[in-house]
Homo-oligomer: A and B are copies of this chain.
Amino acid sequence: MTSSDLQEQLNLKAISLLHEDADKIQKLIEVQMENLATRYCPLYEEVLDTQMYGFSREVDFAVRAGLLSEATGKQLLSKLERNLALLYEAMNQTD
Listed in ascending order, the chain A residues whose CB lies under 8 Å from chain B are 1-3, 5-7, 10, 13-14, 17-18, 21, 50, 53-55, 57-58, 60-62, 64-67
B contact residues around A54 at 8 Å (CB) = 53-54, 57
B contact residues around A7 at 8 Å (CB) = 6
Contact A65 B17 (CB under 8 A): yes
The listed residue with most B CB atoms (<10 A of its CB), out of A60, A65, A67, is A65
**Closest chain B residue, CB of each to CB of A5:** B3
**Closest chain B residue, CB of each to CB of A56:** B54
Contact B57 A14 (CB under 8 A): no
B contact residues around A61 at 8 Å (CB) = 14, 17-18, 21, 58, 61-62
